[in-house]
Chain A
Amino acid sequence: MRKITAIIRREKLEDVKDALELMGIHGMTVSDVKGRGQQMGIRESYRGMDYCVDLLPKVQLEIVVDSEDLERTVEAISENARTGDVGDGKIFVTDVIDVVRIRTGEHGGDAI
């Protein structure tokens, strides 16, 4: 089992969710985050003073999948989150030791 952590543009969330749903992947955790990579900040201006805000709002998706679904899931996220501009985000893949469905107590792949 693998965990996918994807940090994407806020406005791309719907596209990514729709694409994953088409693939049969429903489970995910979404959080509001802020961060930066290579994207320069945005400018905010109040009463004549300019500020550069360089931690930009993004959305973080966390999804756990079976290893055989990993490649196509990453592909789906990557393609649907892409605009081609700096700031599209990143995907991190990590190993998962166990998954438990709390309602039933199932372990492992069945619990995904």
Chain B
Amino acid sequence: MLNSGDTAWMLISTALVILMTVPGVAMFYSGLTKRENVLNTIFLSFVSLGIVSLLWFLFGYGLIFGGDVSGIIGSHQVGISLINLGSASKYAPTIPEGLFAIFQMTFAAITVALISGAVVERIKFSSWILFIPLWFALVYVPVAHWVWGGGFLQNLGVHDFAGGIVVHLTSGIAALALALVTGPRYDQKLMPHHLGYSVIGTGLLWFGWFGFNAGSALSAGSLAVNAMIVTNTSAAAGMIGWILMDRLKTGKPTLLGALSGAVAGLASITPAAGFVDIGASIVTGLVAAVICYLAVSWLKPAAGYDDALDVFGIHGVSGIIGTLGVGLFAVPALNPSLTSGGLLTGSTSLLVSQLIGVVTVTVYTFVVTYLLAMLLMKFKGLRVEREEEIQGLDINLHEETGYRLT
């Protein structure tokens, strides 16, 4: 039975998540790069939304949510013309199917946009354009089907409320693989040219995340409210956690640290927002901030990969933490889709299935993305020329400059 309250909320949620990509992620990223690359950085996110929006209704939605073949992939194409706007999908029984479809599209778009952060300041624009549809089809579509569309991971009991696995883990792991193949920048210093953009980006992300998490309740009721509360709490805990880490390790709390901690909190609560309560969200946000801090400040320099804007370090790691957190903290009373609670309720089965989900998707995403990147490098090249990288991408790839300072 279609419900107009649920439908109204989901319409808004859809728009909120679009805002997270455009310009949320775009601004967050572009403040962190060199001034000569500001436009290109933004462009990578914008074009992700453009391309995914089109592919979604061509084949994406159908292959994820349109039936199931052996738990691996969806079974039929459901183009926009085939979606009967008056009827509902079994995944969201109180809203029109078209709305469920476009809401889900926004998740695919942001997942792709997030990956760009690892390869900014050196990736060839045409190669990025090619990467998007290929990665979307080969990684996002199958993984989303496995976890959300009736696939084998969902059947194994893997629970991902709003995308800890489907969005953050996949984008984080793909970012790592792509960064490894693309290679490091000549200048790897993190010297943000305009932190103000990153502040705006974080604000839009925090705001939009209510659509991302609370919207994943697919209804306007107490589940959405729980998701909103734990989302905000985890963001706040993450921010405080990172500020404390900054103070401990380098002496001064930093604004960029506060922003990064908030994002880590938001990303880590994503898989858990409809399954855990407020106490768990405080722990989740704090733990995510601490571990992500170590991932970006210790692990990355030690291992030497140039994940330029810490997509793996923040989104990938937070996704893992939050997904496993579901296995620890899930409260069945909050959500009827939970057949058992987390470890705190005395049951280990959920933790086991969460672990299976994380490992499976990590391995699959890494291998496929790595191979895809190698193929692109071989047949097209992934990087711009050295002189273009040093001089800046905006003027060389787009014949535009972000600033006219003199």
Residue A46 at the chain B interface, CB threshold 8 Å: yes
Residues of A close to B400: CB separation below 8 A: 44-46
Is B406 a contact of A57 with CB atoms below 8 Å? yes
Chain B interface bracket (under 10, 10 to 19, 20 to 34, 35 or more): under 10
Residues 28-39 of chain A, each 1 if its beta carbon lies under 8 Å from chain B, else 0: 000011100000
Shortest CB distance A11–B (Å): 5
Residues of B close to A57: CB separation below 8 A: 405-406
Residue B7 at the chain A interface, CB threshold 8 Å: no
Known: A44-B399, A45-B399. A33 touches B391 (CB 8 A): no
Residue B77 at the chain A interface, CB threshold 8 Å: no
Residue A103 at the chain B interface, CB threshold 8 Å: no
Q: Is the interface of B mostly helix, strand, loop or mixed?
A: loop
Is A32 a contact of B395 with CB atoms below 8 Å? no
Residues 389-406 of chain B, each 1 if its beta carbon lies under 8 Å from chain A, else 0: 011000100111100011
Residues of A close to B405: CB separation below 8 A: 32, 57
Is A33 a contact of B406 with CB atoms below 8 Å? yes
Tell me which of B391, B399, B401 contacts A11 (CB under 8 A). B391
Where the two chains meet, the residues of A that have a C-beta atom closer than 8 Å to any C-beta of B are 11, 32-34, 42-46, 50, 55, 57
Interchain residue pairs with CB less than 8 A apart (21): A11-B390, A11-B391, A32-B405, A32-B406, A33-B406, A34-B406, A42-B395, A42-B399, A43-B399, A44-B395, A44-B399, A44-B400, A44-B401, A45-B398, A45-B399, A45-B400, A46-B400, A50-B399, A55-B406, A57-B405, A57-B406
| Known contacts A44-B400, A46-B400, A57-B406, then 15 further A-B pairs from the complex at CB < 8 Å, ordered by chain A residue | A11-B391, A32-B405, A32-B406, A33-B406, A34-B406, A42-B399, A44-B395, A44-B399, A44-B401, A45-B398, A45-B399, A45-B400, A50-B399, A55-B406, A57-B405
